[in-house]
Amino acid sequence: MGMLEGKVAIITGAGRGLGREEALAMAREGCNLVINDLGASFDGTGAESKVADQVAEECKKLGVKAVGNYDSVTDFNKAKAMIDQAVSEFGKLDIVVNNAGILRDRMIFNMTEAEFDAVIAVHLKGTFNMTRHAAEYFRKVGKDDPKLKNFGRIINTASDAGLLGNVGQANYGAAKAGIAAFTLIVSEELKKYATVNCVVPMARTRLTVDATPQTAGIMQKKDSSGFDVFDPAHFAPLIVYLASDDARRVNGEVFRAAGDKVWVYRGWHSVNRIDNNGKPFTPQELAERVKSDLLKGLPQKDTIQGVASEVLGLM
């Protein structure tokens, strides 16, 4: 019997890459699935329904029920319809994995309003739309049957581009950092009915290869033993675990996973302080003490390149 036997999940952006691997891993553990994918290119343009249908067929061959959905997560009402589709098709909903995403990279001095808005809409608003309607459903079901306790699972997808920063991705990074903060807040609001966690993949996908050529070379590398650390299939087990009953007490956490490694984050926290003996600082005093005292000896910031080197065993 699988870890997700008889459960029902929606995975957005599940037609390719990480979403597809997550769907297949969940199907192997007995989960019935709504496979959502617009079938667009990595920048969000175009649409092709067969992308979702093909993954649904792959899942069916693993012995579960699966249906395709081709709507955009940016539409508030269509997100609600996705929740309704799962309940109508399978009788209930247990899990939502918010994975859909696009990229429109640009340096900030060249970025257009449309490029910013489109990325925020898919990642941040899309995560809100799906979570909002799933939360309403989980709360209603949980109140109707208190014995279920926190039966629901919401898993959001962030990125080191937001948590550590990455040049050329102000729109994407802002959305991903927002998703991490959104997760922390919503996990407290929903804890009676559902767990809400966030994951940060470091894996080879269209967004890390086709859309960002500067990382393509790294993503193709293997470690010294020949292990393909950035294979997206290695990330999927974390999703299965967080979606399972075994993770019922894991809530409001942010995890990164790559290859054979899993990290847990802690967000913004104070690392140093200066005092002024009961008096407000003057600008002149700050000019003297910020560099010399406040910023002196701080731990080095993590970087995406540093994490990638760690995964490859180069550090």
Listed as own residue / partner, the contacts of 54-59 with beta carbons closer than 8 Å and 24 or more positions apart are 54/15, 55/14, 55/15, 55/19, 55/20, 55/23, 55/24, 58/20, 58/23, 58/24, 58/27, 59/23, 59/24, 59/27, 59/33, 59/35
pLDDT at 213: 60
pLDDT at residue 25, as a whole number: 98
| DSSP E strand stretches across the chain | 8-12, 32-36, 66-69, 95-98, 152-157, 194-201, 254-258, 261-264
**Residue among 125, 137, 159, 187 flagged as catalytic:** 159
Tens of pLDDT, residues 149-164: 999 999 999 999 999 9
User: How sure is the predictor about 275, in pLDDT bands with cuts at 50, 70 and 90?
Assistant: very high
Task: Determine the pLDDT at residue 208.
Answer: 56
Determine the pLDDT at residue 265.
Answer: 95
Average pLDDT over residues 102-125: 97
172 catalytic? Reply is: yes
The model's confidence at residue 242, banded by pLDDT at 50, 70 and 90, is very high
Whether residue 243 is predicted with pLDDT greater than 90 in this model: the reply is: yes
> In order of start, what are the domains of the chain with their CATH numbers?
8-264 (3.40.50.720), 272-315 (no CATH)
The verdict on pTM exceeding 0.85 is yes
Residue 124 has pLDDT above 50, yes or no: yes
User: What are the Cα distances from residue 249, in Å, to 8, 121, 298?
Assistant: 20, 31, 34
Could you tell me which of 96, 116, 121, 122 has the C-alpha nearest to residue 199?
96
User: What is the rounded (10 degree) CA torsion for 285, 289, 290, 291?
Assistant: 130
What are the tens digits of pLDDT across the range 164-180?
A: 999 999 999 999 999 99
Give the pLDDT score at 39.
Answer: 78
Mean pLDDT of the chain: 92
Mean pLDDT of 79-106: 97
Mark whether 159 is an active-site residue: yes
Tell me what pLDDT residue 309 has.
82
User: What's residue 159's pLDDT?
Assistant: 95
Q: How far apart are CA 307 and CA 192, in angstroms?
A: 35
The mean-pLDDT minimum among 63-77, 144-158, 171-185, 254-268 falls in 254-268
pLDDT at 211 over 50: no
70 carries an active-site annotation: no
For 303, the token pair is 């970087």
Q: Which residue has the higher pLDDT, 218 or 111?
A: 111
The answer, yes or no, to whether residue 107 has pLDDT greater than 90, is: yes
Kindly name the residue from 176, 187, 193, 244 that is annotated as catalytic.
176
Catalytic residue among 172, 187, 241, 244: 172
Cα 30 from Cα 52, distance rounded (Å): 19
| Residue 156 to residue 18: CA distance in whole angstroms | 13
Q: Given a cut of 70, is residue 207 above it in pLDDT?
A: no
CA distance 57 to 74: 25
Inform me whether the pLDDT recorded for 128 exceeds 50. yes
